[in-house]
Amino acid sequence: MRLQVAAHENDFGASLTGIQLSDLNQEQVQSVREAWLQYQVIYFPQQPLSHEELQHFTSHFGSFGVEPYVKAMDGYQNILEVRRNPDEQIPPFGASWHSDWSFQASPPSATILHAKVVPPLGGDTHYADGIRAYETLDPSLRNEIEDMWAIHSARRPYSHEGFETTGGRGRSMTILPSDSAWETQAHPIVRTHPESGRKVLWVNPVYTIGIRDMADDEAELVLQKLFSHCLTDQFVYKHKWQKDMLIMWDNRSVQHCAQGGYDGHLRVMHRTTLAGDPPH
């Protein structure tokens, strides 16, 4: 079988067909990896996978990431079930723009999501390109932030207070709030992708809470300006799901946001992450 790639506008996002993810050879693994690095968000239609096959596919690309604050599937410690039942009244899990676990010292390099149950309407996922966002920044703002470090924290969704505020008790997923969510981690606002060498605007509205050595009100102004820029439509790919589709994105340069619009319908995804390196 031969890999076929259909790239999206600006080479952000691509559909990959012609291979079977449950039975990859080393040449195919390398081709998938190259496509992932080039297009940042890649997806594979019509890929029915068991839990074991999903884990095996993930393991081709590195070690599993550490998944805090959410209970894994019974018997599968590396798989999270991202589930929203028909009767849930709160926003979907991941419904605000974020980069997965950016509050960790070494956030995931990749997130992999496999569609098990897709509602008949809504439930899209939107992705934003941090590389093009950086490249198109106003030069004066780019120079201003070049050496700044942002403060990241899990407190908004995963502290006990955040869990209550965001309606965590109303989820079908088991969220595990903790006082550790108040801890902070500093990362450069502009990170360099460790494999492509390209620079990335790397802040997100959920986990980025401030800027090191800057007053809160001043930092908020800078961050809101950056959020507004990197989430404009020109950098966003809006993905529509199909059952058994698998998507893999580069968490080092992409942020994402789960969409609603399917109240009254079940949606189930299975998720793995790949371990990453400290941003620099």
Mean pLDDT, residues 100-121 taken together: 98
- Report yes or no: 219 and 76 within 8 Å, Cβ to Cβ: no
Residue at 279 is within a domain: no
**203 inside domain:** yes
pLDDT value of position 260: 97
Model pLDDT for residues 128-158, shown as the tens digit of each residue = 999 999 999 999 999 999 999 999 999 999 9
Mean pLDDT, residues 252-266 taken together: 98
The two three-digit tokens of residue 215, written as one number: 């007053």
pLDDT band at 2 (very low <50, low <70, confident <90, very high): confident
pLDDT of residue 44: 98
Residues 11 and 38: beta-carbon distance below 8 Å: yes
* DSSP label of 110: E
Range of the domain at 87: 4-274
Task: Say which DSSP state 63 is in.
Answer: P
Confidence (pTM)? 0.97
3-state DSSP call for residue 267?
A: strand
> Could you read off the pLDDT of 263-279 as tens digits, one per residue?
999 999 999 999 999 99
Does 280 map to a domain?
A: no
In this structure, what DSSP letter does residue 123 have?
Answer: -
Mean pLDDT confidence for 33-41: 98
Element (H, E) at 237: strand 236-239
d(CA 223, CA 182): 20
Amino acid at 169: R
Handedness of CA 123, 269, 7, 47 (dihedral sign): negative
Listed in sequence order, the residues at least 6 apart from 14 whose beta carbon sits closer than 8 Å to its beta carbon are 5, 6, 7, 8, 35, 38, 39, 41, 42, 43
> Number of structural domains, the chain?
1
Task: Check residue 173 and give its pLDDT.
Answer: 96
The predicted model gives 197-223 an average pLDDT of 98
Whether residue 42 lies inside any domain: the answer is: yes
Across the range 200-215, mean pLDDT stands at 98
Residue 82: inside a domain: yes
Mean pLDDT in residue range 243-266? 98
Give exposure, 152-162, as e/b (b: 16+ Cβ within 10 Å). Answer: bbbbbbbbeeb
The answer to whether residue 46 sits within a structural domain is: yes
Mean pLDDT computed over 220-242: 98
Tell me the CATH number at 146: 3.60.130.10
Residue 1 has pLDDT above 70, yes or no: no
270 domain residue, yes or no: yes
